[in-house]
Structure 1
Amino acid sequence: METQKGQRLIQPADRMNGLPTQFFAKLVAKANAQTAKGRDVINLGQGNPDQPTPPHIVAKLQEAAANPLYHKYPPFSGYPFLKEAVAKRYKEDYNVDIDPSSEVAILFGGKTGLVEISQCLLNPGDVCLVPDPGYPDYWSGVALAGAEMSFMPLTETNRYLPDYDAISPEIAMRAKLMFMNYPNNPTGAVADAQFYAKTVNYAMKHSIAVASDFAYGAIGFDGNKPVSFLQTPGAKEVGVEFYTLSKTYNMAGWRVGFAIGNAQIVKLINLIQDHYYCSLFGGIQEAAALALTGPQQCVADLKAVYESRREALFGALDKIGWKASRPGGSFFCWLPVPPGYTSETFADILLQEADVVVAPGVGFGMHGEGFVRLGLLTGEARLQEAVQRIGKLNLF
């Protein structure tokens, strides 16, 4: 009786029922079930960096944690020294001038900002342009805002870039926000300056705000440095870029990210965060500032590790006949499934029969069907072993 009464009393808000399913929670559950059986599972399905944070950054946090100043509430929008560090990094890396006082918002990780921007800019009935395949948490923010999504197909024939000419005039008129992400998760594709110029022109023409997810901005291969959206003339007039320390400095658990660019959007993000948070622990902010302004050899070394792993993986893939294009950036590889399988049935086969976890492409959108995503987030020998296990299934 009490249970039934409790169920009647606690009724979730409609917005909770409208949230998309957390696809990766299901993926993790499947992997954990195999591990619980004592199986030696090689998990290539998640995007969790496997290397430790560089020692000089850790040492700075250890030192800063003892500072009594940081034991008090920090400024609501963060310490100015961290915003200045962000501006310095963007100037040095991309020759982009950033006003730290008005064009930087400090985030509890990049994901937080990617959800918040929809809540800042979208009303019920508004349309958000979303890449397909794309990072599923874009969908979460749109759902919380009560807005609608219109998916932009990313296809191999178009280098996994959206085709703005294919967007209907009706959708373009209703759209208020657009997400894009290069280097891309899940495809590993990269974008060039010409694409960003088209994006700015399209956004200006249709009064659409742009959210550039630059989480993998430090990871480019074959001697190519990924381009920042903010390097494009007019970019700051139409949007912001989201940057995170998670991938660049192996600081995923530290939860430090930034929204950079359009001052009006930055102000809105700071406003909504005033109602959610009281900024990051000051010691973490000081360590993050050192990461951005200190020696950057650790970033170059990390990129070299991922590139070496990429070559080891694709060398092994060639031996079993699994043909795919090498990613131009990020630490993800986008591989086609063999004939006769969906992305989910193929991923299930690999888990059950080879103890290898990959992410089914359909989890990133309907245009992800036919592919799986692998992460370069374990050592070369382990990557090669995973491919050898898959090869024994004779699927290629």
Structure 2
Amino acid sequence: MIEEFHRIKRLPPYVFAEVNRLKATARARGADIIDLGMGNPDLPTPQHIVDKLVETVSKPRTHRYSASKGIPGLRRAQAAYYERRFGVKLDPETQVVATLGSKEGFANMAQAITAPGDVIIVPNPTYPIHEFGFLISGASMRHVQAGNGDDFLRAVEHACRHSIPKPIAVVLSYPSNPTAMTASLDFYKEAVALAKKLDLIILSDLAYSEIYFDDNPPHSVLEVPGAVDITVEFGSLSKTYNMPGWRMGFAVGNERLIGALARVKSYLDYGAFTPIQVAAAAALNGSQDCVSEIRRVYQSRRDCLVESFGRAGFPIPPPPATMFAWCPIPEPFRALGSVEFAKLLIEKADVAVSPGLGFGEYGEGYVRIALVENEHRIRQAARSIKKFLAQSPETMHNVIPIPQTASR
């Protein structure tokens, strides 16, 4: 028998695999699946960004190798964004690195700062790369139930004092994927003070900084005086400008940590295709009316989802930010678990969602719904779910438990 490779053995079974298989099977037989699972924006990239890409790609010199840490103009554009949006001044030469999306930045930062056996404090539930990037690097996780208040900070402190070896870093993620919770500036001030007290690096995921509702823009932890001493923050253009396939993100913050990331990346890639970087700079430097319109579309979809699903008997707490809703499973079906409930939605309602267990053990009892279909399709999904919920769980199909191994 061939033994599995060491790093592959550390990765648990993919919780979404069975749901994805059922979705593919249903589509193969002709079912019209309304896919509210993956957070894959359906809206087009704004035209002025596409135009800049087309203009730049016609120049042969841009077809050569690019810069691993990002072309200077792009790094300056990201620094200007931080000063304009958060009042935070960054040196584009030493405190900004362009990444192939925030996910790649997170994973390579894990490679840069982690030694085998190091411990990382990670909220749970959370976006999978926050955990698995470090698992691949050889680290161990200490999970803390996700939150945005004093209870979370006290749990971080407890985890730090009762872990051997002592954790080296804590992950923060606001607005959060999957829970959509946000954090106040006061929370960040307390988090920075605690991290300095405990000698922790802060790794902050700010990928949804511009997808917010109710005129309450999210903060950056770097707004806190002294936060840059211990913090790297990751951002992305994927959701802000509907550029998910372009793979354009950033890491910004502490010079030593950014330098470590840049050095690792210098051995692994030559950066994104130069025309993509030029177009990304145009997105950051140009009119932000497109961002306001994207935000308006997501808010309209959110309101439609909350209203139509609520009338269908599936109450959904309105998310204050992100393109996701974090939804408790309706009581009659809660005992089935999130994976089995998600499978039933595909089989009986032609609707796909993400099971909460895929984001960590504390995600059980929830599903994540992505706002990636238009309002007509959302209402169509609500009608199907209303019929589905009218049935008794016992009358559906035999439940085959899925191994509960999303997190360690």
Q: TM-score range by the shorter chain?
A: over 0.9
Which position in structure 1 is the counterpart of 2:386?
391
Please report how far the alpha carbon of residue 154 of structure 1 lies from its aligned counterpart in structure 2 after TM superposition: 1.9
Please report how far the alpha carbon of residue 161 of structure 1 lies from its aligned counterpart in structure 2 after TM superposition: 7.9
1:269-295 deviations in whole A, cap 9, x for unaligned?
111111110111111110000000001
Which position in structure 1 is the counterpart of 2:354?
359
Amino acid at match of 2:376: A
- CA pair 46-76 structure 1, distance change in 2 beyond 3 A: closer
Q: Verify the 8 A CA contact 2:181 2:321 in the aligned structure 1.
A: yes
Amino acid at match of 1:283: P
Kindly indicate whether residue 369 of structure 2 is the aligned counterpart of residue 374 of structure 1.
yes
Please report how far the alpha carbon of residue 156 of structure 1 lies from its aligned counterpart in structure 2 after TM superposition: 9.3
Kindly indicate whether residue 322 of structure 2 is the aligned counterpart of residue 330 of structure 1.
yes
Question: Following the alignment from structure 1 to structure 2, what is the Cα–Cα distance between the partners of residues 266 and 382?
Answer: 43
Map 1:216-365 → 2, pairs under 5 A: 216-339=208-331, 340-365=335-360
Question: Following the alignment from structure 2 to structure 1, what is the Cα–Cα distance between the partners of residues 152 and 246?
Answer: 31
State the SS of the aligned residue for 1:258: strand
1:142-184 deviations in whole A, cap 9, x for unaligned?
1121110011102699898884354351228611121111111
Q: Verify the 8 A CA contact 1:20 1:139 in the aligned structure 2.
A: no
- CA pair 21-270 structure 1, distance change in 2 beyond 3 A: farther
- CA pair 20-263 structure 1, distance change in 2 beyond 3 A: farther
Candidates 22, 25, 37, aligned match of 1:30: 22
Candidates 172, 194, 205, aligned match of 1:202: 194
Structure 1 vs Structure 2: percent identity of aligned residues? 38
Map 1:54-133 → 2, pairs under 5 A: 54-133=46-125
RMSD of the alignment, in Å?
Answer: 2.0
- CA pair 168-256 structure 1, distance change in 2 beyond 3 A: closer
Please report how far the alpha carbon of residue 137 of structure 1 lies from its aligned counterpart in structure 2 after TM superposition: 1.5
Question: Following the alignment from structure 1 to structure 2, what is the Cα–Cα distance between the partners of residues 73 and 170?
Answer: 47
Give the alignment's TM-score, normalised by structure 2.
0.91
Deviates more, 1:190-199 or 1:158-167: 158-167
Give the alignment's TM-score, normalised by structure 1.
0.93
Deviates more, 1:51-60 or 1:321-330: 321-330
Q: Verify the 8 A CA contact 1:343 1:360 in the aligned structure 2.
A: yes
State the SS of the aligned residue for 1:73: coil
Q: Verify the 8 A CA contact 2:353 2:367 in the aligned structure 1.
A: yes
- CA pair 222-160 structure 1, distance change in 2 beyond 3 A: farther
Candidates 193, 199, 204, aligned match of 1:212: 204
1:62-107 deviations in whole A, cap 9, x for unaligned?
0100122212212332211100000111111111101100000111
Please report how far the alpha carbon of residue 387 of structure 1 lies from its aligned counterpart in structure 2 after TM superposition: 1.4
Query: When the two structures are aligned, how many residues end up with a matched partner?
Result: 388
Q: Verify the 8 A CA contact 2:169 2:200 in the aligned structure 1.
A: yes
Q: Verify the 8 A CA contact 1:84 1:100 in the aligned structure 2.
A: yes
Please report how far the alpha carbon of residue 371 of structure 1 lies from its aligned counterpart in structure 2 after TM superposition: 0.5
- CA pair 155-95 structure 1, distance change in 2 beyond 3 A: closer
Q: Verify the 8 A CA contact 2:182 2:321 in the aligned structure 1.
A: yes
State the SS of the aligned residue for 1:280: coil
Please report how far the alpha carbon of residue 322 of structure 1 lies from its aligned counterpart in structure 2 after TM superposition: 2.1
- CA pair 71-162 structure 1, distance change in 2 beyond 3 A: farther
Which position in structure 2 is the counterpart of 1:3?
none
